Amino acid sequence: MIGFPVSSGFFGHEVVQKGVFPSFTGVNAASFVGPVAPESIVASFGSGLAATMESATTNPPPTILGNRRVKVRDLSGTVRIARLYYVSPTQINYELPAGTPAGFTAIATVYIGNTSTIVADDLVSTATVAPGLFNNGGTASGQWQRYNGSTLVGTGDLSTPIEFGNPDDVVYLVLYGTGFRSRSSLSGVSVTIGGTAATVTYAGPQGIFVGEDQLNVIIPRSLSGTGVVNIVMTVDGRNANTVQVTAGI
């Protein structure tokens, strides 16, 4: 049983102990594996987590949703309030708050509204980067954009085949994920598409939606017409989940 004392000013005199309350398990919301990174989107699964099913309708998301709240406490006792994207009886999605230290286990606790009533708690393993790429049935979430010089000449959803166009056109993939904005440098991000190294031009915050990251990469023209290909992303030595796109002609 693991327990950490909590300051009386914020939590009263309670001590949250893993194993005392029902547990829920947090993973990267894109890859569905751990660990998770600060400012990334966490999907936590359990039972009896909320009485209703609700999704956030604001950006940034609220700190109370469906009469539930998530607090994340680190080993120093510092408590941070998480923003909530989704709550249901079996799942809560939240942003691991900025400033949560990486490289250790924190405790995330679900509360009822503004009260100190605990619903469930979770030991969350954290890391500076923990990359994941969103997908739909394995197909990467995002768009392809084809440029001739600085002119956009074609675009499409990644559920459709990528159109490579003329030989002097350049095709970018814009992919969405979470957990890689704190990469050490752009050179710390590598991507292969269909086993071929690709040029990464951006890897960082998406810029609009809280917790969402964006990867921009040039797809090699040598992949034209090869059909379904895998995208493998590595950030500072950590692999993201493999996703796919369809390379047309």
**Amino acid at site 27:** V
- CA distance from start to end of the chain: 57
pLDDT at 179: 98
State the CATH class of domain 132-247. Answer: mainly beta
Domain boundaries, the chain: 2-125, 132-247
pLDDT at 86: 98
**Quick one: pLDDT band at residue 6, thresholds 50, 70, 90?**
very low
Six-digit token string for 247:
């390379």
> Averaged over 203-223, what is the pLDDT?
98
Domain 2-125: assigned CATH number: 2.60.40
pLDDT digits (tens, 9 = 90+) for 161-188: 999 999 999 999 999 999 999 999 999 9
Alpha-carbon span 213 to 191, nearest angstrom:
15
Do 2-125 and 132-247 agree at the fold level?
yes
Alpha-carbon span 99 to 61, nearest angstrom:
18
> Are residues 43 and 178 in contact, defined by beta-carbon separation less than 8 angstroms?
no
**Quick one: pLDDT band at residue 112, thresholds 50, 70, 90?**
very high
Global confidence as pTM: 0.90
